[in-house]
Amino acid sequence: MSGQLNNKVALVTGGSRGIGRAIVDRFRQEGARVITCGRGKRPDDLDTEIEWQRADVSSINDVQALAAFIAQTSDRLDILVNNAGIQIEKTLLESSDEDWDQLMGVNAKGVFLCCRELIPTMIRGGGGSIINIGSISGNHADPSMALYNGSKAFVHGLTRSIAVDHGADGIRCNAVCPGWIMTEMADAAFEQASNPEAAREDARSRHPVRRFGKPEDIANAVLWLASEQSSFASGQTFIIDGGLIAASPLQPGLF
C-alpha cells in the first residue's frame, strides 16, 4: 500500500466511530501504520490492519500505557490526532461538578495528556504533525453547551501554544474545527430541540452549501495537515463548516 502517509506512524484517539473512524480509515488508505483507541472493546468492523488499544484519554495511567505501547512497537510517532471527545447538553447553571470532570477530562485534559506524553516520542523521531479536533463551538457558542464550548476554546488555545513552543523541535500543531457533521453527537444535539426535524431543516438551510458535513469531509482536511503538503502550516485553526459561520445570521428575504 502506498500513499501520502506511506511508512508514517499515526495515533488517532477515539477512532471507533464518526469523525475518528473516518480519519483512521483514510490514514490507512494512504499507507500509514494506524493505532487508535477508545474506552470500549475493539469494534467488530474495524479493519484488521488497524491496531486497537483500550484507553481512556482522561486517565494519565491509560495515556502513559498508550505511549509505552507506541515506544515498544515503533521508534517514532509521526502523526497524533486528538479526536476523542464527548458532549453534554447543559447550560452553565445546569452543569454539575461531575459534568465538568467528565467532559473536561476527555475534551481538555485528554488532549493535554496525549500531547504531553507523546511529544517527546515525536521529537525523538525527528518531529511530526499534531492535529487537534476543535470545533466552531470553540469560537461561537452553541446554546446549552457551556462546557463543550469552553473545552473546544481550550483546545484552540493549546494548539497555538504547542505550535509556538515546539516548532523548533520539528512539531507542527494545528486544529481542525468542524461545523455540523452528521454523527451521533450531532443527532443528540438536535434531539434537544422541541421539534428535532424542524431544527435539522433550519440548520441545513443556513449552510451556503445546502448540506451538513460528513465525517469524510473532516478526514480530508486532517489528511492534508498530516501530510508534507502542509509543511508550512502550524498554529492555525481550520474551519470546515460548509460556510455556516461566514453567512449573516439574518435570513434572506427579511430586507
Q: What is the pLDDT of residue 254?
A: 46
From the list 1, 68, 6, the residue with the least C-alpha distance to 226 is: 6
Cell 460548509, residue located: 242
Bridge-based pairing state of the strands 79-82 and 9-13: parallel
pLDDT in the model for residue 14: 97
Which residue spans within the chain are E strands per DSSP? Answer: 9-13, 33-38, 51-54, 79-82, 128-133, 171-178, 237-240
Q: Report the C-alpha gap between 208 and 247 in whole angstroms.
A: 8
**Nearest residue to 244 (alpha-carbon basis) of 213, 199, 223, 219:** 213
**In angstroms, what is the C-alpha Rg of the chain?**
18
Helix (H, G, I), strand (E, B) or coil at 106: helix
Any idea which fold 9-184+215-240 has? Rossmann fold (3.40.50)
User: What pLDDT score was predicted for residue 187?
Assistant: 78
pLDDT tens, the chain, 255 aa long: 569 999 999 999 999 999 999 999 999 999 999 999 999 999 999 999 999 999 999 999 999 999 999 999 998 999 999 999 999 999 999 999 999 999 999 999 999 999 999 999 999 999 999 999 999 999 999 989 999 999 999 999 999 999 999 999 999 999 999 999 988 777 777 777 788 888 888 888 889 999 999 999 999 999 999 999 999 999 999 999 999 999 877 665 544
Task: Give the amino acid at 41.
Answer: K
Catalytic residue set: 148
DSSP 126-182: T-EEEEEE--GGGTSPPTT-HHHHHHHHHHHHHHHHHHHHHGGGTEEEEEEEE-SB-
Query: pTM to 2 decimals?
Result: 0.94
Q: Enter the C-alpha cell of residue 154.
A: 481550550
